[in-house]
Each structure stands twice: as C-alpha cells, then as structure tokens.
C-alpha cells in the first residue's frame, strides 16, 4: 500500500515492510519523513504487526537529509523528531542498508533497533564536509554504539566506512548478501524467532573520554581554527555522556549554530557546484568512445596525464623523442602508479595490468590507432603546430586531438589541422593524476560531441571538468595572472611576502601566494613575464621587480633550495636576502613603505580576483559564475568553505566591491577598473547566484 509518493508499506504475516523510494538517492525530504512517520505509526497501531523493517528501493538507502532544505524554514516532521519516534516505537524497527547510508540516512538507522548492512554498503557521517555536524542524533547515538574515540574519528573525518569495518565497530548488527527486501524479511523473522535481539541505542551508556576529546579539540585549534563545525562536533560528542535528551539538545543547538554560518552556505554551494558544473548544453551530445589514449610528451605533465588515464582503466601510448626521455617518462609513470597503490587508489590485483596498459613509442605514427591524442609538450606554438599538423595526418578522422596548453591560442593550433572540429584543449593541473580540475577548452569550431567527450573523460578520470573559452590563460590562469599582481604590489607598497602569505592563510588559503610560487617554481612566471614583456601595456604598473631579481639569482623556490623562503632546513624561514631586494626595489621606485593591515591585504587580493573573474564572465570565457568557482576551488586552492570567489563576492555585494575598486583606483587607475557587469549588478540588484540559475 502506497503511503505517499515515496513511501509504501506491505504486510507479510506479522511483519510490516516499509519501502522508501525517493530517487535518485532517497534523500530524507519532507515527503520521505512524512511517509516514514505515517508508516511506522500505522504499523504500531496494527495489532497483527509484531516487527517493522525499513528498506529502500533503487540504488541506495537514504543518502542523507535533503540539503536543498537547508537554510530554509524547517518543515515538519523534523528528522531528529522522526528518529526519536522510531526509537520509541513499541515494536522493534529493523533497517536494511544498501548503497550509501550517509548522514541523516545513517542516523535513521542508528535510531532503529537493528541494522543490517548489504554487500557494497558504504556508510558514514559526512556532515562536516557541508559545514555541519550530524544533527539527527548521530553525535549521541554513534558514541553509544562504538565509543567516543571511534565516533569522533568518523564524525570529524566524514569518511565512508565499508560494511565490514562498520560491523567490526558495532555500527551494524549483521551483514547480508540478499536483496534489501529479502534481507528485511530474513532479519524480521530472526527477530521474531529470537535468533537476534533488537535493542534501543539510547539505553546504552557512553564511557566518558574527555581526555581524548580535549586532545582532538587541541588538534583542531591548530589545524581548523577558522572552521566552526569541527569544534561543534567535539562539543556535541562530549555531551553524549549526558542523558540522551540533554545530549540531543546540545547537538541541536550546535547544529543550528553551524547551519547559520556562511561556511555552511559556502560548502553547500561547493557541493552543488561540483555536480552542476558538468551540466552544459553540449553535454546532451553523445560522447565519442575513448579506450586508447596517446600522450605526447613524457615530462611532468605528460606523465601525470598518462597516469590519470591508466588509473581510469584506459590504455595509453606515451610518445617521446628520445629513448632517454621516454625512459624517464615511463619511470615517472611507474612511480606514480606505485604511489597510487600505496595510497590505496589502485588495487594490488590491478597493478600489473595497469602497468601493462602503458606502451612507450618514439614516433608519432604509433598513434595511428588511438581514440584521443593529448599533446603535453612544452609551451611553444611552433612545436605544437608541427605536432598537430602531423597528428592530423596520422589519426583517423573523428579521433580527438587535444592540447594541454595552459595559455596558447587553441584556435591557432586547430587551424593547422584539416579538422578543427576535432580539436579541444584539455588543460590538466600538476600533478595531473592528483589535481581534480580539468579545464575543457572549447575552440571556435570544436564539435559538441568532442566537448561531451571532454566531460565524459573528466568524469572517468574522477575530475571536475569545467568548460572554458579561448583566451590567454583560459579561466584559471587568466584570473591568477591578474590577482597575483596584487600580491606583488602589496609587497612593493609595504607588506612583507610573509605578511601577505600569513593574511591569506588566516583567511583560509592552504598556502599564501609566495609559498605557492616557491612550490610551483618562480622561473615559470619569470618566463611568462618575459614572454609578455613586449605586449605589456605602458600604463600598467610592473609587478615583477622583486620576483625578477629573485630569479636572476637562480632562486626558483623550493626546487633550488631558495625563493621567498629558505628550504635548507625543515623550518621554512623567510629568505633574508629577499628583504634586501624588496628594500632596494622600493627605493628605486621611490616608494615609502607603509604598514598594510591583514584585512586590507585580503580585501585587495580578493577584489582583484573577483574583478578579473567578472571580466572572464563578460568575455564569455566562463559561462557561469559557478564555473569560475569550481576552477578556483579545484585548481587553485581556494578555501572550499568560502564556496569560490563568485559565491564569496555575493557575500560582499556588488556595491561594496565597486566602492573598494574606486578607492584602490586612486592609487592605480589602470589596474583597478570597475567591470561593466559589476556596475550593472549594482544597479539592478542581480547576484552571481542569480546567474547560475
Ligand atoms: N540532498 C539533496 N540532494 C542530494 C543529496 C542530498 N543529501 N545527495 C545527493 N543529492 C543529489 C545530487 O545533487 C544529485 O542531483 P542532480 O542529479 O540534480 O545533480 C543527485 O542527488 C545524485 O547525486 P550524485 O550525482 O552525487 O550521485 P553519486 O551516485 O555520484 O553519489 C552520494 C551519491 C554518494 C550519495 C552523493 O550524492 C553524496 O555524497 N551525497 C551527499 C551525502 C551527504 O552529505 N549526506 C549528509 C547530508 S546532511 C545531513 O544528513 C544532516 C543530518 O545530520 C541532519
């Protein structure tokens, strides 16, 4: 019998089988909650029924509360109340979990009296990734079942546990390889026969372990001082030693406090952005088949791209020009694969086959049978044109020819072929087998099916594919090139590189821009500045004075032991010689250094980033603000809890951003210009979020 659109109940002898069917992932939407509530209470009043079993149809049990409801007025019945009702059910309630039982989904099961896990089940409490904590009893019932240390580890990591581990810990009572419905019937019969005993979780006492929680809290202060919800998780788990009703009150309060933070909004924007980013019009075209990939160039990028493809189960032919370079490339790929094996990203039984799926060749003609060729040689237009000219002749029509260029004009490269419609940019980020971002650069003539293949490849490689138009640097490097200048100007005007780094790290970046520069290699930007020297507008204030001097000394950052910092010892100390260079360059430019507050550093840096991001939208290089957010989040270390620069910009507002730009423009009216789109937004009240809809 159908209770409502998403919940049905069936009676089998004296068993009530409640089936949840809310595709795609059975979220605990209001309809699902209403349905469960009605079904459980109906089963309770039915004198024939002795035991109740809840299972789900489709690919998964409940994957969590409905995130779309967050930030809106609460809808009854609230999930915690429903779970309390389940726990208080006079008749035992069994839950059968398959697929993913996450967050509120697992919390429903924790409130039930018996938990059965099916093959392949993953379960966990991932709320922390959304800036929240388990808010439907998870912080109270998990410690009751598995103790405080294991519970806090699961809650703070938000990780997915395998069913076996959950059984070992005591989160599950049994495993089954039956179907969800069959497993529900079996467990119900076992309850009826007394083979297995259901019990109420709230009746279990928690062994206090304040010392462990103190230790966790101390660690969080070191590592996550700027985030709210991890601290709230500890606070709520600490309350699990109280009587359950009191503990649940503490959890509720902590949940609402986390819910009302901009961090929660930022993290949820990131969650949905990650999923929306691949929804572009071309995605409707059918992707072309890709089973074998040719990678041209065995340097860091080429080897990383080859590794990513191999890890995704693709066959790869790596082409280099000399035996030596080919050997180096293959060795790097093997090392990458071994690393993946160690980190558990590649199963031992797949290791040999994955290695064997790689072939090395010295001639481009070896790529006559690939489905996709990715060129990853150094950034030189003539070399790339030559390669594409050759590939055009070697590869069959329909084979996709991709360039990993990070700034060169893709249309110029495509024009050297007879089939620019098959040409696309696949801009990976280093290390390519680790970094999640893939810019899918669409040329003027790129075919829709080729774009769709780019997105399909991104998904297969478990990357976040973002569509970008053609311009110098595409979305990410174009915006980076602009805001990085702010960091240089700040140093010239009075801040030390360390002050700039510290301010931005406190704001949320994992590393400040000078540390990032040292890590990436300062020579890369040096070459870019040289490349662009001839076309640099006269009005532009030069940003490379200090960095050029550093590079002229042969200090390219971490790889040469020196950059903005010294890398000779384990402690990263500021390079004192940079201080001298900075002082000399200020003097040469006639600048009297002034102290710059951390807040001012952050405001200028972020305003510069947002300004260029807006221009990228105006120029239609990025289609939507969320595309920019995902590029910065997944390729440039933008703090996830701020959602991305466009989401963050909405929290500031167009009017305030314009005020800031106008203030800064008094010092440099060329660099600080108000983008037209921002003006328009201030006039009509539009937000970037509106443009994502
Ligand atoms: N709320 C609303 N929508 C959700 C959702 C949720 N909890 N979980 C997934 N969805 C949506 C996705 O946005 C997507 O929608 P779309 O098709 O329109 O893009 C659709 O469901 C399918 O999701 P995925 O594309 O992610 O499917 P996958 O198969 O790749 O992954 C999953 C499935 C592992 C369940 C993944 O969706 C996931 O991790 N979901 C979030 C789980 C989670 O964080 N749960 C905790 C929620 S907070 C909570 O429960 C609070 C409680 O303590 C009170």
| pLDDT tens digits along 585-604 | 999 999 999 999 999 999 99
Residues with CB under 6 A from ligand 1: 24-25, 27, 63-68, 79, 100, 102-104, 107, 126-127, 130, 132, 134-136, 138, 272, 275
Instruction: List, for residues 156-185, the tens digit of each pLDDT value.
Output: 999 999 999 999 999 999 999 999 999 999
Ligand 1 mutation pick, 63, 139, 283, max ligand atoms within 8 A of CB: 63
Quickly list H helices, 6-52. Answer: 30-45
Locate the ligand 1 atom nearest the alpha carbon of residue 66 and give its number: 1
- Cα 66 to ligand 1 centre (Å): 8
- What's the CA gap between 18 and 7, in Å, rounded? 7
The protein residue whose alpha carbon is closest to atom 32 in ligand 1 is 63
pLDDT the model gives residue 693: 86
Ligand 1 mutation pick, 32, 56, 64, max ligand atoms within 8 A of CB: 64
pLDDT the model gives residue 570: 79
Identify the residue whose tokens are 């050759």. Answer: 390
- Cα 76 to ligand 1 centre (Å): 21
Instruction: List, for residues 117-164, the tens digit of each pLDDT value.
Output: 999 999 999 999 999 999 999 999 999 999 999 999 999 999 999 999
Q: What is the mean pLDDT of the segment spanning 668-689?
A: 97
Closest CA to 308 of 353, 358, 378: 358
Q: Residue 524's pLDDT band (boundaries 50, 70, 90)? A: confident
The protein residue whose alpha carbon is closest to atom 15 in ligand 1 is 275
Query: What does the angle CA 125 – CA 130 – CA 136 come to, to the nearest 5 degrees?
Result: 45
pLDDT the model gives residue 282: 77
Instruction: List, for residues 35-93, the tens digit of each pLDDT value.
Output: 999 999 999 999 999 999 999 999 999 999 999 999 889 899 999 999 999 999 999 99
Beta strands 7-12 and 15-20: pairing type? antiparallel
The protein residue whose alpha carbon is closest to atom 45 in ligand 1 is 64
pLDDT the model gives residue 648: 98
- Cα 271 to ligand 1 centre (Å): 8
pLDDT the model gives residue 7: 98
Average per-residue pLDDT in the chain? 96
- Cα 63 to ligand 1 centre (Å): 6
- Indicate the pTM of the whole model: 0.94
Task: Answer for the pair 605, 486: CB distance below 8 angstroms, yes or no.
Answer: yes
Locate the ligand 1 atom nearest the alpha carbon of residue 275 and give its number: 19
Q: What is the mean pLDDT of the segment spanning 504-525?
A: 93
Q: What is the mean pLDDT of the segment spanning 265-294?
A: 93
Task: Answer for the pair 626, 648: CB distance below 8 angstroms, yes or no.
Answer: no
pLDDT the model gives residue 550: 97
The percent of residues above 70 in pLDDT, for the chain, comes to: 100
**Could you tell me the sign of the dihedral formed by the alpha carbons of 617, 689, 606, 427, in that order?**
negative
Phi first, then psi: give them for residue 159, nearest 5 degrees: -75, 160
Locate the ligand 1 atom nearest the alpha carbon of residue 138 and give its number: 53
The protein residue whose alpha carbon is closest to atom 34 in ligand 1 is 100
- What's the CA gap between 442 and 621, in Å, rounded? 9
- Cα 247 to ligand 1 centre (Å): 27
- What's the CA gap between 94 and 113, in Å, rounded? 6
The protein residue whose alpha carbon is closest to atom 33 in ligand 1 is 25
- What's the CA gap between 177 and 175, in Å, rounded? 7
Instruction: List, for residues 617-633, the tens digit of each pLDDT value.
Output: 999 999 999 999 999 99
pLDDT the model gives residue 16: 98
The protein residue whose alpha carbon is closest to atom 24 in ligand 1 is 275
- What's the CA gap between 481 and 612, in Å, rounded? 9
The protein residue whose alpha carbon is closest to atom 13 in ligand 1 is 272
Q: What is the mean pLDDT of the segment spanning 442-462?
A: 97
- Cα 541 to ligand 1 centre (Å): 47
pLDDT the model gives residue 72: 87
pLDDT the model gives residue 40: 98
pLDDT the model gives residue 281: 79
Ligand 1 mutation pick, 67, 256, 276, max ligand atoms within 8 A of CB: 67
- Cα 160 to ligand 1 centre (Å): 13
pLDDT the model gives residue 224: 85
Task: Answer for the pair 245, 621: CB distance below 8 angstroms, yes or no.
Answer: no
- Cα 67 to ligand 1 centre (Å): 8
User: Tokens representing 538?
Assistant: 């006269």
The protein residue whose alpha carbon is closest to atom 28 in ligand 1 is 25
Closest CA to 654 of 609, 686, 625: 686
**Could you tell me the sign of the dihedral formed by the alpha carbons of 610, 611, 615, 616, in that order?**
negative
pLDDT the model gives residue 107: 98
Q: What is the mean pLDDT of the segment spanning 566-582?
A: 92
Q: Of how many residues is the chain composed?
A: 693
Locate the ligand 1 atom nearest the alpha carbon of residue 276 and give its number: 19
In this structure, which long-range contacts are made by residues 553-557, counting pairs with CB atoms below 8 Å and at least 24 apart in sequence?
553/577, 555/522, 556/521, 556/522, 556/523, 557/517, 557/518, 557/519, 557/520, 557/521, 557/522
pLDDT the model gives residue 520: 87
- What's the CA gap between 514 and 510, in Å, rounded? 12
Query: For residue 332, with 0-12 CB atoms within 10 Å meaning exposed, 13-18 middle and 19 or more buried, which class applies?
Result: buried
Task: Answer for the pair 407, 477: CB distance below 8 angstroms, yes or no.
Answer: yes
Q: Is the pLDDT of residue 680 over 90?
A: yes
Locate the ligand 1 atom nearest the alpha carbon of residue 65 and give its number: 50
Task: Tell me the catalytic residues.
Answer: 107, 127
Locate the ligand 1 atom nearest the alpha carbon of residue 125 and give its number: 46
The protein residue whose alpha carbon is closest to atom 47 in ligand 1 is 64
- Cα 24 to ligand 1 centre (Å): 9
């Amino acid at each position: 019998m159908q209770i409502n659109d998403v919940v049905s109940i069936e009676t089998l002898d004296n068993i009530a089988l409640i089936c949840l069917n809310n595709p795609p992932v059975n979220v605990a939407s209001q309809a699902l909650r209403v349905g469960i509530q009605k079904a459980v209470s109906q089963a309770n009043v039915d004198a024939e029924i002795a035991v109740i079993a809840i299972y789900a149809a489709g690919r998964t049990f409940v994957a969590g509360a409905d995130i779309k409801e967050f930030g809106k007025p609460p809808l009854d019945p609230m999930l915690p109340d429903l779970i309390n009702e389940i726990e208080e059910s006079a008749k035992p309630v069994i839950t059968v979990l398959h697929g993913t039982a996450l967050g509120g989904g697992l919390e429903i099961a924790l409130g039930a009296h018996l938990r059965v896990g099916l093959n392949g089940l993953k379960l966990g409490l991932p709320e922390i990734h959304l800036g929240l904590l388990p808010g439907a009893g998870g912080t109270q019932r998990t410690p009751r079942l598995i103790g405080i240390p294991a519970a806090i580890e699961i809650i703070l990591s938000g990780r997915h546990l395998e069913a076996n581990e959950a059984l070992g810990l005591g989160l599950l009572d049994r495993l089954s390889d039956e179907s969800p419905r069959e497993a529900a019937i079996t467990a119900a019969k076992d309850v009826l026969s007394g083979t297995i005993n259901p019990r109420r979780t709230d009746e279990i006492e928690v062994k206090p372990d304040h010392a462990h929680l103190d230790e966790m809290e101390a660690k969080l202060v070191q590592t996550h001082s700027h985030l709210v919800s991890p601290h709230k998780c500890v606070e709520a788990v600490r309350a699990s030693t109280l009587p359950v009703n009191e503990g649940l009150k503490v959890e509720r309060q902590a949940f609402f406090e986390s819910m009302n933070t901009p961090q929660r909004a930022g993290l949820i924007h990131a969650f949905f952005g990650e999923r929306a980013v691949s929804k572009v019009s071309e995605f409707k075209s059918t992707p072309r088949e890709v089973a074998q990939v040719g990678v041209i160039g065995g340097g860091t990028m080429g080897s990383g791209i080859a590794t990513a493809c191999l890890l995704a189960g693709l066959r790869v032919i790596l082409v280099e020009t000399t035996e030596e370079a080919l050997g180096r490339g293959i060795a790097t790929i093997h090392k990458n694969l071994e690393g993946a094996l160690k980190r558990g990203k590649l199963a031992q039984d797949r290791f040999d086959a994955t290695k064997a799926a790689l072939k090395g060749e010295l001639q481009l003609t070896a790529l006559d049978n690939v489905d996709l060729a990715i060129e990853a040689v150094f950034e030189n237009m003539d070399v790339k044109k030559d390669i594409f000219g050759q590939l055009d002749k070697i590869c069959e029509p329909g084979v996709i020819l991709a360039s990993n260029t990070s700034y060169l004009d893709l249309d110029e490269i495509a024009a050297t072929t007879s089939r620019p419609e098959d040409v696309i940019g696949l801009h990976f980020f280093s290390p390519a087998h680790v970094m999640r971002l893939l810019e899918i650069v669409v040329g003027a003539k790129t075919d829709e099916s080729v774009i769709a293949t780019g997105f399909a490849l991104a998904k297969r490689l478990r990357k976040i594919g973002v569509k970008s138009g053609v311009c110098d640097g595409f979305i990410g490097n174009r915006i980076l090139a602009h805001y990085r200048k702010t960091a240089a100007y700040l140093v010239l005007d009075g801040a030390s590189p360390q002050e700039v780094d510290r301010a931005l790290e406190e704001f949320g970046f994992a590393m400040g821009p000078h540390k990032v520069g040292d890590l990436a290699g300062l020579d890369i930007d040096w070459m870019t500045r040289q490349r662009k020297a001839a076309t640099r507008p006269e009005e532009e204030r030069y940003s490379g004075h200090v960095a050029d001097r550093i590079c002229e000394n042969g200090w390219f950052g971490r790889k040469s032991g020196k950059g903005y910092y010294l890398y000779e010892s384990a402690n990263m100390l500021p390079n004192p010689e940079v201080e001298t260079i900075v002082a000399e360059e200020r003097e040469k430019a006639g600048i009297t250094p002034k102290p710059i507050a951390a807040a001012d550093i952050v405001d200028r840096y972020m305003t510069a980033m947002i300004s260029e991001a807006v221009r990228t939208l105006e120029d239609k290089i990025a289609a939507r603000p969320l595309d920019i957010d995902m590029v910065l989040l997944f390729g440039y270390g933008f703090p996830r809890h701020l959602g991305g620069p466009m989401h963050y910009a909405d929290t500031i507002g167009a009017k305030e951003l314009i005020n800031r730009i106008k203030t800064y423009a008094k010092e440099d009216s060329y660099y600080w210009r108000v983008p037209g789109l921002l003006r328009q937004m201030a006039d009509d009240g539009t937000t970037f979020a509106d443009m994502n809809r």
